[in-house]
Amino acid sequence: DIQMTQSPHSLSASLGETVSIECLASEGISNYLAWYQQKPGKSPQLLIYYASSLQDGVPSRFSGSGSGTQYSLKISNMQPEDEGVYYCQQGYKYPYTFGAGTKLELK
Amino acid sequence: EVQLQQSGAELVKPGASVKLSCKTSGYTFSNYYMSWLKQMPGQNIEWIGNIYGGNGGTGYNQKFKGKATLTVDKSSSTAYMDLSSLTSEDSAVYFCARMSGRPHYFDYWGQGVMVTVSS
């Protein structure tokens, strides 16, 4: 299975700050990488797909980048509603796998 | 508007089976794969498998073969997952999620259903 290693495990950010979350795949995944946000008691919501494509309706302060095995999610201008857990997911090979999540809190 | 509506919470005894449903609307069911995913409390998300709405073709995570069986009813645009021989390790929230074609991401999710296995 492809292992997805996310870092950091958790972070806190001030209002308006820019944060980045990293995701490292155990092998190349050809940009078949998606990012999700999950809030407590809710289902995950798609933010970014194909490494850098913004899902419809997602604020433009979210952006994704990367290639090969290394990917990142950047959140610019941190807002209170951005608190939650963020997951990366590879769709390159069965079984599709997720990172362990990064908990983002407002400082 | 795309909607995935899952059945309600389940409390089941060890060794029993349970069938979860995911009723869809707002898109052409037969044109997409539906995936099922598991999330234990405070834990990571695991992909169980997927099923094509058009012909019922399936793909499973090896870890869940023998545990989960996916089916669809095209006439009602509903996907189902049977979980068998339940143990405490199967206590989790289960999500259905519509899956795109390549690059295989999950763009719409059900609200999730809590399955509790307890005697």
Which residues of A fall below an 8 Å CB-CB distance to B? 30-34, 36, 42-46, 49-50, 55, 87, 89, 91-92, 94-101
Could you read off the pLDDT of A16-71 as tens digits, one per residue?
Answer: 999 999 999 999 999 999 999 999 999 999 999 999 999 999 999 999 999 999 99
CB B33 within 8 A of CB B52: yes
- Note the pLDDT of residue B92: 97
Reported confidence tier of residue B43, pLDDT bands at 50, 70, 90: confident
* A97 strand-pairing partners: A90, B46
Q: Tell me the percentage of chain B whose pLDDT exceeds 70.
A: 100
pLDDT (tens digit, 9 = 90+) per residue, B96-105?
999 998 889 9
Residues of chain A by 3-state class (helix, strand, coil), percent to 5:
5, 50, 45
- Assess contact for A76 and A18: CB atoms under 8 A: yes
Identify the CA nearest to B50 among candidates A95, A31, A45.
A95
pLDDT of residue B41: 87
Banded pLDDT at B65 (limits 50, 70, 90): very high
Put residue B104 in one of left, alpha, beta given phi > 0 → left and psi -120 to 50 → alpha: left
How much is the pLDDT for A73?
A: 98
Give which of A5, A16, A13, A6 is closest to A104, Cα–Cα.
A13
Both tokens of residue B70?
A: 């996916």
**Disruptive mutation site among A55, A96, A103 for chain B (greatest number of B CBs within 10 Å):** A96
